[in-house]
């Protein structure tokens, strides 16, 4: 394969991205300085991502086009986000939007480790393609309602009735996602944040975000996060990094 170089706007925290992806790896291998999925390997040479293939998927997954200078300048106004120690934070995208949507549903009310274990079971038993999961009958140890959401989404995506694409506005994206039975605001914002590249998506129902921000309720967290617009997704990454 001919390597592709994807220039990246500095600053760029490649290792933070790898750390996030490593703890959630299912079919990938994530090392200290590389990401690998099948035959595709991605490394960072200090100025560009070097990939052996699928450059557009890699661009999306590693948030190559984010303007970290502008994002950091805005979020650095808020001490709790600790931007000075985490410059160049990016929002990990998705290799495949449907796969990420399944991950978000699996992750409802379970730990990152627990969700990763369940995702590996799904990948091993059924694969992670819509057509395969649309026909899946037996759960992999998940609540029935959550499994029904996954298979229902798979059928809708496989048939073309649902397209996991970005709306004209964040509100449009969230409205489309929450119209799918079993997908609530937290799941919709997580999908929008990573799969749809919505920079202001913010899963305020996340316990870890509330803990990192030192607040008790979703309403308090939303009020606190209002000045972080239009980069709340990046603020969420910074808060998760602090845990």
Instruction: Report the distance separating Cα 110 and Cα 128, nearest Å.
Output: 20
Contact (CB, 8 A) for 235 and 228: yes
Q: What is the pLDDT of residue 70?
A: 98
Query: What pLDDT is attached to residue 2?
Result: 82
Query: If 0-12 CB within 10 Å is exposed, 13-18 middle and 19+ buried, where does residue 139 land?
Result: middle
Q: Each residue's pLDDT tens digit in the chain (243 positions)? A: 789 999 999 999 999 999 999 999 999 999 999 999 999 999 999 999 999 999 999 999 999 999 999 999 999 999 999 999 999 999 999 999 999 999 999 999 899 999 999 999 999 999 999 999 999 988 999 999 999 999 999 999 999 999 999 999 999 999 999 999 999 999 999 999 999 999 999 999 999 999 999 999 999 999 999 999 999 999 999 999 999
CA distance 205 to 186: 6
Residue pair 209/236 in contact by the 8 Å Cβ criterion: yes
Domain(s) labelled CATH 3.30.310.20 in the chain stretch across: 4-65
Can you read off the two tokens belonging to residue 101?
A: 């949507």
Q: What are phi and psi of 234, to 5 degrees?
A: -70, -35
Contacts of residues 169-175 at CB distance under 8 Å and 24 or more positions apart, as own/partner, are 170/198, 170/200, 170/201, 173/198, 173/201, 174/201
- CATH topology classification for 4-65: TATA-Binding Protein (3.30.310)
Residues 83, 72: Cα–Cα separation, whole Å: 6
| 143 Cβ contact partners less than 8 Å away, ≥ 6 residues apart | none
pLDDT of residue 229: 98
Q: How far apart are CA 62 and CA 238, in angstroms?
A: 16
For domain 97-194, give the CATH number: 1.10.340.30
pLDDT of residue 1: 75
Nearest to 4 by CA among 65, 52, 56, 61: 52
pLDDT for 109 equals 87
Q: Where in the chain is the domain with CATH 1.10.340.30?
A: 97-194
Handedness of CA 187, 56, 20, 171 (dihedral sign): negative
């Amino acid at each position: 394969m001919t390597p592709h170089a994807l220039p990246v706007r500095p600053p760029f925290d490649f290792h933070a991205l790898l750390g996030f992806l490593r703890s959630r790896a299912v079919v990938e291998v994530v090392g200290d300085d590389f990401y690998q999925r099948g035959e595709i390997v991605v490394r960072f040479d200090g100025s560009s991502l070097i990939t052996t293939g699928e450059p557009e998927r890699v661009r999306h997954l590693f948030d190559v086009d984010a303007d970290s200078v502008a994002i950091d300048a805005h979020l650095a106004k808020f001490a709790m986000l600790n931007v000075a120690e985490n410059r160049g934070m990016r929002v990990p995208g998705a290799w495949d939007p449907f796969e990420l949507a399944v991950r978000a549903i699996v992750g409802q009310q379970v730990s990152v480790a627990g969700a990763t274990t369940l995702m590996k079971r799904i990948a091993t038993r059924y694969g992670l393609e819509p057509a395969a999961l649309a026909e899946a009958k037996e759960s992999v140890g998940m609540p029935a309602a959550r499994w029904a959401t996954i298979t229902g989404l798979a059928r809708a995506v496989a048939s073309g009735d649902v397209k996991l694409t970005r709306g004209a506005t964040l509100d449009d994206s969230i409205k489309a996602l929450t119209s799918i039975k079993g997908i609530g605001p937290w799941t919709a914002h997580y999908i929008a944040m990573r799969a749809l590249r919505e920079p202001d998506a913010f899963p305020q129902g996340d316990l870890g975000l509330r803990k990192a921000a030192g607040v008790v309720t979703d309403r308090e967290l939303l009020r606190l996060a209002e000045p972080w617009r239009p980069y709340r997704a990046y603020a969420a990454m910074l808060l998760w990094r602090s845990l």
